[in-house]
Chains A and B, each alone.
Chain A
């Protein structure tokens, strides 16, 4: 795994000292909230409905056991004993006192973590496929490239005051698990004539104006990655709108000027910038590739796995649902669901974090991942250790076997925490998960992605959920709008709105009617929900959703 060097450590230490002083001045009244706001936003500190919130980056979703243990300690010492994994491979602490935040940041720095650029109009935490370095279908581990981008973008002097926030995601597989087309820049590593290149997508984003990224470059030689990214950011920095916050993302610029004009401008900037990159980035990249290489020698005895399958059907069910093949046949990828029905999607208690850290240390070569789907992954588990992992997860109540099923849903914090929210997300998520669990239908329904956002900013990625739910406020009442046919995969698609919103007490039955409709009309159980929607369109589901509500879909 990649480790900080002395420069990184000194840099973070100085930043934390600066912020400690800023907090001191805010608390003593030397700074007003207006003056303090841009300073705290440089350091991942938000002010939510009930408290401050600290957002900590987990670059490309990769954590060591030691880091997760430290997150657990922070949750206990400075928060309410839990943390929340977000849809962008961050962890959020929801209840810190401002006076404690400098200590939290110092504690994080002990394990090479920080909150720099997790807010503000900067290049945010670089995300990646959470199965990087483990997925069977992978062409190249994206993390060395994500780390290279992280180092380049962190405290980049040109890009601290962009028109708006900027998100980059990287995948090294043709199977997209990083939702690259919903990012300002999405990168897909691929081979052309056996040489590594990046396909570059630009101008994707969800929020109030959902747009899928367009291809800016079909095959960028990998050595040109940083100058090309710098060229994109330079054009955006100059040309992106600063007069209107809602028109400031790069997607609006790309759409306004057109992808071809945008490409010409990027190419011109690239020609100027390329000579300024003198090769240090390539030297670093070589080191990073070595840092991330998987050099382990796992125990090859699989007998405990096969034995347990024979006599424990709960174990078999869990493996069937939550464990995936690894690129090395003696290993498997375990997804730990943070979606037990009734709990808050993405929340983990400090005890659970400690349990996971211990399991990773003992059975997974000290490595964990967090996914934008708000789960934790143990990426390299020897098959023979799967029973021990399952037993360990049972002890911390994290053995829910629902990965990829309807209760494995994505939800933003919504009005329970967020100042921007117009409706609650968490209670709706809980009700849907509990409803389908009670019906006992989840396995029969099969693979389906349901996403909930509590406002149009779309942190719950509802536009790309197979079923998307958007919580709005209509005249003081919560109203939940359904979109269908969204897709976050390599077949990315923005979902289609099916009609007027449902009340908080109506939304769960409406989802249930849609799912029942799907089961009635699917070809056979191997046709997943999204394929049925693609095959028949949304009209038949729309009819089902509004059946017995007295509302006409056309009222929208």
Chain B
């Protein structure tokens, strides 16, 4: 049902909602797209608690998709349990690559060493793609300040590959504002922050950052790769990447 009116609608909604508060954007989106046709996507990483807290304040039964790559830190798993419990979230769906596809493409679980793009693709991008089937919109916690790629993120976008609207209610938030929200709402921190991690993904491809580095510099360290691919146009699984 992809039609040319959807990108136009995204532009219109973005113009209308861009100056609203994150809670207002979410409430409008729930009305516009339907509670059961919208899902939050969270990595339960360094700053994820903010978006999850916003969701819980509206309705803790909203659907949250947690992409389970099989390579999360134990700390992330414990943190996820802690946040789910603390915020009272009741519909956290752990989505992961189907085992047969995983074995076909990454039989010895070492793909991350030789082709991290393809590893992200099968474990995250393709999984999100499948999880969003039948939904109208997904909500992400991207912020413009995080890196150059994210500097132009809009509050409402249209994701043509998944035929789905994408809502970024805290796109314009700064690091200070995130920090303040954590404090005001007494949200627990991801345990790895204390060890110098500022952006947290899978353990093979995440490292702590040094003083002076940007917050996502610890991801795919030593490679030109900066994003897993969830937030850009997806490539077909059996296309050129294979």
**A interface vs B, CB < 8 Å?**
136, 305-306, 309-310, 316, 319-320, 323-325, 329, 332, 383, 526
Query: Which of the residues B93, B95, B100, B108 comes within 8 Å of A332, measured between beta carbons?
Result: B100
Query: Which of the residues B99, B109, B130 comes within 8 Å of A319, measured between beta carbons?
Result: B99
Most buried by A among B98, B104, B110: B98
The reply to whether B100 and A319 form a contact with Cβ atoms under 8 Å apart is yes
Q: Which chain B residues lie closer than 8 Å to A305 at the CB level?
A: 98
Q: What's the tally of chain B residues with a CB closer than 8 Å to chain A?
A: 12
Q: Does B225 contact A (CB under 8 A)?
A: no
Q: Which chain A residues lie closer than 8 Å to B103 at the CB level?
A: 324-325
In the complex, what residue of chain A is closest to B101 when comparing beta carbons? A325
| A319 to B109 CA separation, bound complex (whole angstroms) | 16
Query: Which of the residues B98, B104, B108 comes within 8 Å of A309, measured between beta carbons?
Result: B98
The reply to whether A310 and B93 form a contact with Cβ atoms under 8 Å apart is yes
| A303 to B14 CA separation, bound complex (whole angstroms) | 35
Bits for B70-104, please: 1 = Cβ < 8 Å to A, else 0.
00000000000000000000000101001111011
Known: A306-B130, A332-B100, A526-B109. 4 other contacts (CB 8 A): A310-B93, A325-B104, A383-B100, A526-B108
In the complex, what residue of chain B is closest to A322 when comparing beta carbons? B99
- Shortest beta-carbon distance from A530 to chain B in Å: 12
Bits for B7-29, please: 1 = Cβ < 8 Å to A, else 0.
00000000000000000000000
The reply to whether A323 and B104 form a contact with Cβ atoms under 8 Å apart is no
Q: Which chain B residues lie closer than 8 Å to A383 at the CB level?
A: 100
9 closest A-B pairs by beta carbon, nearest first, are A325-B104, A320-B99, A319-B99, A526-B109, A325-B103, A325-B100, A332-B100, A526-B110, A309-B98
| A325 to B98 CA separation, bound complex (whole angstroms) | 11
In the complex, what residue of chain B is closest to A446 when comparing beta carbons? B109
In the complex, what residue of chain B is closest to A329 when comparing beta carbons? B104
- Shortest beta-carbon distance from A403 to chain B in Å: 12
With A306-B130, A310-B93 as given contacts, are A323 and B109 in contact (CB-CB < 8 Å)? no
| A446 to B130 CA separation, bound complex (whole angstroms) | 28
Q: Which chain B residues lie closer than 8 Å to A320 at the CB level?
A: 99
The reply to whether A323 and B100 form a contact with Cβ atoms under 8 Å apart is yes
Q: Which chain A residues lie closer than 8 Å to B130 at the CB level?
A: 306
| A428 to B200 CA separation, bound complex (whole angstroms) | 45
B135-190 at interface with A (beta carbon < 8 Å): none
Instruction: Give 26 CB contacts A-B under 8 Å.
Output: A136-B104, A305-B98, A306-B98, A306-B130, A309-B98, A309-B99, A310-B93, A310-B95, A316-B99, A319-B98, A319-B99, A319-B100, A320-B99, A323-B99, A323-B100, A324-B100, A324-B103, A325-B100, A325-B103, A325-B104, A329-B104, A332-B100, A383-B100, A526-B108, A526-B109, A526-B110
| A219 to B171 CA separation, bound complex (whole angstroms) | 63
